[in-house]
Structure 1
Amino acid sequence: MATITDTTDDTGVRSGNWRAGVLGGIGGALVMGALVLAMNPPTLAVAIPSLYGLAPPPNPGLGMVVHVSHGAVLGVVFAALVGAAAVEEPVRIVGLGIAWGVATWIGLAALLMPLWLGAVGSPASPPFPNFAPPSLLWHVVYGAVLGAVYVATEGV
């Protein structure tokens, strides 16, 4: 006669909801992309697609596809951060989203993007570093929407 014993171990490690991260990242990137188009179209039409040799000529649609793809991937990283930090309160998740938006602005938009665009010879290469205030606004909005959509969809 065999005895089966089920055991579960709580390792204390939590994982975020990657699906909510993807949805939040897509939502945040779409809203941010709309702001970029309204405030500085060449950023979306030339700079972002230039990262991958897809511009010039200017192509805002392709820039939006690249941008939303980046937003989705960064949303998954955000979900991992939410899980690792064991953040459960909705207000704190949205706050973490805003902080994540600021972190992506510093690390990716202000520091990495100018170097990358310079390396590929983009005509849209900004100076290094590029701590542009409108870009900070765009990334804060990305993070706020990311956090809000994450909260709204994490139970799905």
Structure 2
Amino acid sequence: MASGTTSQTAVANRTSIQPWQAGAVGGLLGSVVFGALMVTMIPNPVLEVAIPNMYGIEATPANPAELAGWVIHLSHGAVIGVVFAALVHRGPIATWTNSSIKTALVGLLYGVVVWAALAVLVMPVWLDAVGFPGAPPLPNVSELSLVGHAVYGLVLGTVYALIQP
């Protein structure tokens, strides 16, 4: 009888989701929602042109690279989601995420911080460094981008709270 209990416990431990996995899933889902907002609301083809150019894929409005843009965007979202998981699981803000609602709100705030650091500062410098002629100005302050990143963070935090025990 004891071996049956041990076996069930081992199976339960083996199939439970790890915090980094919850962050990656939340980040992917947040990126899908944010990407859909970008494609429908942001007039410049950021997803199809600017993001691929960050990695040397020479896309233009006349010759966009939709698949590459989506793959890169989703990859960014997953990695940024894993960083979120590290911060809320063991990092300095772990004590702020003791409920699903608080975790979702911390996710929203995290999305705003990601926007300020990566979209406002890093992306324009990066695009300029690779010689992309359509590089945005520094700082790259866009209200639509802010909303998109906030939505990304909210989805990330919500999904993380729902699937991470």
TM-score range, shorter chain: 0.7 to 0.9
Task: Give CA-to-partner distance per residue, 1:4-36, whole Å, 9 cap, x none.
Answer: xxxxxxxxxxxx811100000000001000100
Query: Which structure features the higher share of helix residues?
Result: 2
TM value normalised by structure 1: 0.86
Ranges in structure 1 where 5+ consecutive residues have no aligned partner = 1-15
Residue matched to 1:76: 82
Given the alignment of the two structures, is residue 50 of structure 1 paired with residue 53 of structure 2, yes or no? yes
Residue matched to 1:8: none
Residue matched to 2:40: 38
Task: Give CA-to-partner distance per residue, 1:91-127, whole Å, 9 cap, x none.
Answer: 1100110011000100000000000000101133001
Given the alignment of the two structures, is residue 67 of structure 1 paired with residue 81 of structure 2, yes or no? no
Given the alignment of the two structures, is residue 154 of structure 1 paired with residue 164 of structure 2, yes or no? yes
The one-letter code matched in structure 1 to 2:119 is A
Give the one of 96, 100, 111 matched to 1:90.
100
The size of the alignment, in residue pairs, is: 140
TM value normalised by structure 2: 0.81
SS at 1:130's partner residue?
A: coil
Q: CA RMSD in A?
A: 1.2
SS at 1:77's partner residue?
A: helix
Q: Distance in 1 between matches of 2:132 and 2:151?
A: 26
8 Å CA contact 1:43–1:124 kept in 2: the answer is: no
Q: Distance in 2 between matches of 1:75 and 1:25?
A: 4
Q: Distance in 2 between matches of 1:112 and 1:148?
A: 26
Residue matched to 1:11: none
Q: Distance in 1 between matches of 2:81 and 2:125?
A: 23
The percent of aligned pairs where both chains have the same amino acid is 48
Q: Which is further off, 80-89 or 107-116?
A: 80-89
Residue matched to 1:134: 144
